[in-house]
């Protein structure tokens, strides 16, 4: 996927189209997780917030062409490395 995104970024950048490789690495605090795993509600800090994902994409969207980010990895701060 990363290689495909790189190829697309090179192809479409001259047309002003920003292609980025975005990885959402973890469970998302949405209805699907909350309904399937009710105990997840007590562990909100270990789930990626939908608002955080939206903020990350808004950040990419608002970047000027002279400072585009190509890769973005979204995860919680509670990740165990």
Number of structural domains (the chain) is 1
The parent domain of residue 10 ranges over 2-74
**Dist CA 33 CA 61 (whole Å):** 27
**Dist CA 31 CA 6 (whole Å):** 32
Q: Residue 42 falls within a domain, yes or no? A: yes
Question: pTM of the predicted model, to two decimals?
Answer: 0.79
Please give the chain's pLDDT, 81 residues, in tens: 999 999 999 999 999 999 999 999 988 988 888 888 878 777 777 899 999 999 999 999 999 988 989 999 999 988 766
Q: Residue 34 falls within a domain, yes or no? A: yes
Q: Residue 37 falls within a domain, yes or no? A: yes
Q: Residue 80 falls within a domain, yes or no? A: no
Q: Residue 12 falls within a domain, yes or no? A: yes
**Tokens 């495909």 correspond to what residue?**
4
Q: Residue 81 falls within a domain, yes or no? A: no
């Amino acid at each position: 996927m990363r290689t495909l995104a790189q190829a697309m970024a090179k192809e479409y950048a001259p047309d002003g189209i920003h292609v980025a490789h975005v990885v959402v690495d973890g469970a998302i605090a949405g209805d699907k997780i909350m309904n399937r795993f009710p105990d997840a509600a007590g562990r909100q800090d270990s789930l990626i917030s939908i608002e955080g994902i939206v903020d990350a994409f808004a950040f990419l969207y608002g970047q000027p062409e002279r400072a585009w980010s190509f890769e973005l990895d979204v995860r919680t701060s509670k990740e165990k490395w």
